[in-house]
Amino acid sequence: MDAIACISSRKSIRAFRPEPLPRELLQEIFDIARWSPSYKNTQPWEVVVLSGEKKAALSREVQRLFQDGAPPTPDLDEPQTWPPAEAARIAQLYQSRAQATGIDLADPKVIKKAKMANFAFYGAPHAVYLFQDASLSLWSLFDLGLFAQSLMLAAHARGVATVPQAFTTDYADQIKQFLGIPAGKRLVLGLSLGYADTTAPINALSTARMPVDEFVRWLS
């Protein structure tokens, strides 16, 4: 798969087959992703990959916290408001998902169910957490975003599905304690990784993108 096809055909997957990936394939994906660019080649990313019982145990713990009403402890605060243009695109996404699945994502009961599915990594056999030192600047946060994109593209190029998940970082303090990660690290993102369940209706959804002239200004 060439780079253009890889970028334009990648999409977020929210239903996975349970079989684990070969360790050699996981190793290859991260071996590719490590070539992601970073400010002054600082490479400010640390990765934890969870599989098997360790992943299942973490899922159970985070789901328990959520069901018990424990207050979230994210290292990056969830946005509370959006500018009009971005808010409109979120509304369009919710409408597209409702049409694809018949589920209203504005319904509080649905939101709760969606979070529980997030915390279970949508049934994926592998969960990935991306950390970096909390003292690093916003430039390093940008670099970790580049690494996440490189990781998802490398996986897609090898026939492996992913989805980036902000909700999986809701209980960052507890997750770091569970994983033995120092409190001075910043949990930035979680991802599910595995083979897509092509029979799941949610995976048929492809989100729209803005036309180029809506976000590029041409000056000469």
pTM surpassing 0.85?
yes
- The residues, ordered by sequence, that sit 6+ positions from 131 with a Cβ below 8 Å of its Cβ are 45, 46, 47, 48, 181, 185, 186, 187, 188
Indicate the number of domains in the chain: 1
Task: Give per-residue pLDDT as tens, 60-100.
Answer: 999 999 999 999 999 999 999 999 999 999 888 888 877 77
In a domain, 67, yes or no: yes
In a domain, 215, yes or no: no
In a domain, 190, yes or no: yes
In a domain, 58, yes or no: yes
In a domain, 174, yes or no: yes
Any idea what the CATH number is for the domain that residue 151 is in?
A: 3.40.109.10
Sign of the dihedral defined by the CA atoms of residues 159, 18, 110, 60, in that order? negative
Task: Give per-residue pLDDT as tens, 139-178.
Answer: 999 999 999 999 999 999 999 999 999 999 999 999 999 9
In a domain, 185, yes or no: yes
Domain containing residue 73: 3-77+120-206
